[in-house]
Structure 1
């Protein structure tokens, strides 16, 4: 069964489709029921029980699934209107197919592993249709589900995330890549630096080591993963992190309630740099509102749904050697925000296989190249406008009501100028400006650039325009997301940018696993809602992950 599955499984394969494509005739000689006795087809029962095992489902779930889907039942070999009952399924495990139970269980385990390696949703721990957990949001229920599902996600870290990373290392290895990456996860959840975290990792793996063992630390020293990481290029690191994020997302999609197409939020995360900058070309000046002068910059793309914010990809920004700077005009070869948007949007579209409906970004992305990129890809956008002289004049001319109160004002065909990839230094494009009047949350008007179809002719148009632009506030959870990502990153003083980038990228993946645990708990207790405060806090999730880290080995 595993050999057959290997020829079928890809990132789009689901368990119900897979089991109908496998042949089970080679097992029919195991059937103890004589041909003359009436019984369900033996091969069909093998396929059905394999489906049940792949989905980690109950006997009742399998019966309900076959009863509700006559086509699936027929494809397996049952009569469409007469699938096996719940009791028949239970008896098959203990009686008729007892000799094949271990074969089915082993095949299911191998196929789940294969599916995880190929990014298939088969066997993902996020499926809840197989669950018969009681509903209700009692603290006891939440705690029980959290403990069980946190363990499931540790398996996902091992089978889905870690295989996305390939470290360039010599042949004479003492520790393999998986152990170095497990140490990285330990560093992230404990918030420790390389050497101190390695000692903590050794305590988890073997609290009572043999002192005469030359490797009695029971784990690699902190310098070992640093040596493996620091020679990786920023491009390679970003590619591996994004592949890991895409694989987790593929496994999660069956239960994540995104709009179709989705909303995407792109923002810049600033990681403080303290110390002498010297010739560190990737260290950049921090924004004025930060408490530090220098920082590293990372761009992160988040899929925004009604019930989850999910980090789908990340990129380093701020240096020309991993952006297509030669395609831009002029002498400035630093990064261009349009290229950041282009690469992240294409990653979500092409790698994550998610079609984007609308993009939100902060003021740094108010640029001609960004607007041109999104227009070419037919993506709607809402981006705060920079307060240049033209925008200030637009605010001064906002519409007012009879009492002199400012009204929602729309300006179509507003020209913006700037460098565009494969274009000139002063290329132009057009966008629509929408200015929202002050309210209880804002002391002054806010202006946004958009390509949405909005107007200000009548009151209904103005209310509609305000509603569309105010959806930008759904980015609120994203703003706090970046501070949470940093909580999953190891502490380091290294000036090597690859090490900094690797730590941040791996933290993004741990952050995603935390979001999914929180979402799964909400789903299993039938209380899925937009929550500004998670049911499972990040420190608590890190504590669970920390306690279970030895299970990854």
Structure 2
């Protein structure tokens, strides 16, 4: 019996999956398809739209438009027009906002916390969160141009022509050099920063073993530092240059100082104040509880700069976030958390591909390739095989 020659990795093939026939451009497309379907099945069942049983569009139809809008960083209205489906099969943007707007903030948070936990569970099963992991706690804003008195709007530093924004606090791990969010919490004018940092860390400690925690300067307060010290977590964060810090800077650098912060209070905190000069000749200060010698200060500062620099470039280059002009908070936080889940899925899918096919595998997906495939698999009725062997 003569066997058919084996197909190469890029040769076209047709495969029957369930009741559907699919044509793939060789193994690469087939494996990407399976990975994205598997990713689809992780979170989308957790996201529920309030709708009647006889509504015209399924939730996956709406998520397809949102996924397309998120990757293109476009307005949902524009994305509905450029979505790669016939116009009569594409939900109107008003339908998208109507459905998301019917959810309360609590319902949105519950759904996305559940969705992120599902992603984390798969990531743990795949070994993506093994060992000690460096974490970062960050304040991320979404600039706003409406009324400053609208719900959840905070005053922030001027940027992009506005001093108003919606703000979320996030804790994330670093997986294969990319940000992998574990939890996100909305911040408003009444939010207590030490309670936020404690809630984020309580959750993170249940999920992973924490190595060093990199903290946004927005949490440089006596109470936040006390929380970190009580939890016995090694941390690094920029120190606000108040009068006493500036006096220490004048004493020279590199230098490490046992610094007491909050001296006018009954309960000040102590930490190591590091004073170093960066490559541009700027003197930088940071707070830490790392036991470090002066000749190691620059290395410690570089750890923070390198890690934070990676994440800053991520925020600029790869934010899977749709744009909207709506002033209502519910659709906005829905879109924000949806973007976080999409990014987590992208990181997870590429980790799975590297695990299965090697780090240099052609199965790796860019952000655009991943989103293109997610848009393709969302409306399909039959799942492909999802075994990971």
Deviation string for 1:368-417 (max 9, x for gaps)?
A: 2211222232222111000111111111123xxxxxxx32x122252336
Asked if 1:464 corresponds to 2:301, the answer is: no
CA distance, structure 1, for counterparts of residue 268 and residue 103 of structure 2 = 38
* Equivalent residues of 1:256, 1:308 under 8 A apart: no
CA distance, structure 2, for counterparts of residue 144 and residue 364 of structure 1 = 49
- What does residue 360 of structure 1 align with? 214
- What does residue 338 of structure 1 align with? 194
For structure 2, list consecutive stretches of 5 or more residues without a partner in the other structure: 1-16, 19-24, 383-389
- What does residue 154 of structure 1 align with? 36
Find 1:446's aligned residue among 260, 284, 304: 284
Deviation string for 1:84-122 (max 9, x for gaps)?
A: xxxxxxxxxxxxxxxxxxxxx99xxxxxxxxxxxxxxxx
* Equivalent residues of 1:484, 1:538 under 8 A apart: no
CA distance, structure 1, for counterparts of residue 166 and residue 27 of structure 2 = 38
TM-score by length of 2: 0.79
Larger Rg: 1
Asked if 1:299 corresponds to 2:169, the answer is: yes
More strand as a share of residues: 2
Asked if 1:514 corresponds to 2:384, the answer is: no
* Equivalent residues of 2:249, 2:275 under 8 A apart: no
* Equivalent residues of 2:139, 2:170 under 8 A apart: yes
Aligned residue runs from structure 1 range 19-30, under 5 A: none
- What does residue 181 of structure 2 align with? 311
Find 2:47's aligned residue among 140, 159, 165: 165
RMSD: 3.2
- What does residue 18 of structure 1 align with? none
Following superposition, the deviation at residue 431 of structure 1 comes to: 3.1
CA distance, structure 2, for counterparts of residue 430 and residue 192 of structure 1 = 46
- What does residue 428 of structure 1 align with? 267
* Equivalent residues of 2:143, 2:162 under 8 A apart: yes
- What does residue 542 of structure 1 align with? 371
CA distance, structure 2, for counterparts of residue 417 and residue 179 of structure 1 = 57
Deviation string for 1:224-282 (max 9, x for gaps)?
A: 231222233333323322321221122123445556232211112222222x4253142
Asked if 1:221 corresponds to 2:92, the answer is: yes
- What does residue 122 of structure 1 align with? none
Following superposition, the deviation at residue 316 of structure 1 comes to: 1.7
Find 1:482's aligned residue among 304, 315, 321: 315
Deviation string for 1:196-233 (max 9, x for gaps)?
A: 433544x52xx4xxxxxxxx822432222312222333
Change (3 A) 1:433 1:439: same
Secondary structure at 1:269 match in 2: strand
CA distance, structure 2, for counterparts of residue 154 and residue 317 of structure 1 = 32
Aligned residue runs from structure 1 range 275-424, under 5 A: 276-277=146-147, 279-288=149-158, 291-305=161-175, 307-319=177-189, 334-350=190-206, 353-398=207-252, 406-407=253-254, 409-416=255-262
Following superposition, the deviation at residue 291 of structure 1 comes to: 4.4
- What does residue 193 of structure 1 align with? 75
- What does residue 3 of structure 2 align with? none
Following superposition, the deviation at residue 192 of structure 1 comes to: 4.0
CA distance, structure 2, for counterparts of residue 197 and residue 236 of structure 1 = 25
CA distance, structure 1, for counterparts of residue 378 and residue 45 of structure 2 = 17
CA distance, structure 1, for counterparts of residue 118 and residue 344 of structure 2 = 11
TM-score by length of 1: 0.58
Change (3 A) 1:251 1:145: farther
Aligned residue runs from structure 1 range 81-120, under 5 A: none
Change (3 A) 1:536 1:177: closer
CA distance, structure 2, for counterparts of residue 265 and residue 474 of structure 1 = 9
CA distance, structure 1, for counterparts of residue 72 and residue 91 of structure 2 = 16
- What does residue 250 of structure 1 align with? 121
CA distance, structure 1, for counterparts of residue 33 and residue 157 of structure 2 = 40
Change (3 A) 1:443 1:179: same
- What does residue 9 of structure 2 align with? none
Following superposition, the deviation at residue 150 of structure 1 comes to: 3.2
